[in-house]
A and B are shown apart, each in its own frame.
Chain A
């Protein structure tokens, strides 16, 4: 069973702080990794993806990938109350087209 694990939270951070969201995966052959944000009652929206070891930055978001440790994380700098949502980690195994395995999501709460 290929799994993607996330702490369900809630993760509570004060406004302006850095929020750190973590994800581990079991399939060592996984090729690309995605972070989606899902607001309550809405569908997921893609924040960013990463497929090389190291860091990838996009605005206030930084994705970090460590394939040796089978670990991917998302950092949100200068967290805002509007960042409060559930963050889904998803993994593409690399041999199944666009198929993604999703984690259960981490609920982030940014307090003013």
Chain B
């Protein structure tokens, strides 16, 4: 149990285009979903937290108009990188939280974004 999918796994796009990444919890309802970014050889950086039906909470320094998050249901959240630029190239990882004994987060497989 506790499987999280993420799509696409890899995307290459031209500068100025927008890219949408989907995150789904497949076998449980996620009370909260999280979006992280990770640059090579660096640690995870939390970008935003989203709860179903409400606006996402963004971490300091993360532009909410550039990284649009929609949490449409208890099993689906999307991250749209608008007007992507080469500096947005990174590994984007979502996670889904399950309220259980340990309040675990389960991670999707990640999306590697390359902006040319």
Contacts and interface: CB of A to CB of B under 8 A. Distances in A.
A46 B110 contact: no
B110 A49 contact: no
Given A102-B43, A102-B44, A46 B31 contact: no
Contact of A34 (B104, B108, B110): B104
Interface stretch (B12-20, B65-73, B81-89, B92-100): B92-100
Interface of A: 31-32, 34, 36, 41-46, 49, 51, 88, 90, 92, 97-100, 102-105
Contact of B106 (A46, A90, A97, A103): A46
Contacts of B102: 32, 34, 49, 51, 92
B49 interface: yes
Interface of B: 31-32, 34, 43-44, 49, 91, 93, 97-99, 101-110
Contact of B103 (A36, A45, A97): A97
22 contacts: A31-B103, A41-B91, A43-B107, A43-B109, A46-B107, A88-B43, A92-B102, A92-B103, A97-B99, A97-B103, A98-B34, A98-B97, A98-B98, A98-B99, A98-B103, A98-B104, A99-B32, A99-B34, A102-B43, A102-B44, A103-B43, A105-B43
Contacts of B104: 34, 46, 49, 98
Chain B interface main SS type: loop
B24 to A, nearest CB: 14
Contact of A100 (B43, B93, B105): B105
A105 B44 CA distance: 9
A14 B62 CA distance: 42
Interface-centre pick from B93, B99, B104, B107 (highest chain A CB count, 10 A): B104
A97 B91 CA distance: 25
Contacts of B31: 97-98
A41 B110 CA distance: 9
Nearest to B94: A43
A70 B44 CA distance: 22
Contacts of B97: 97-98
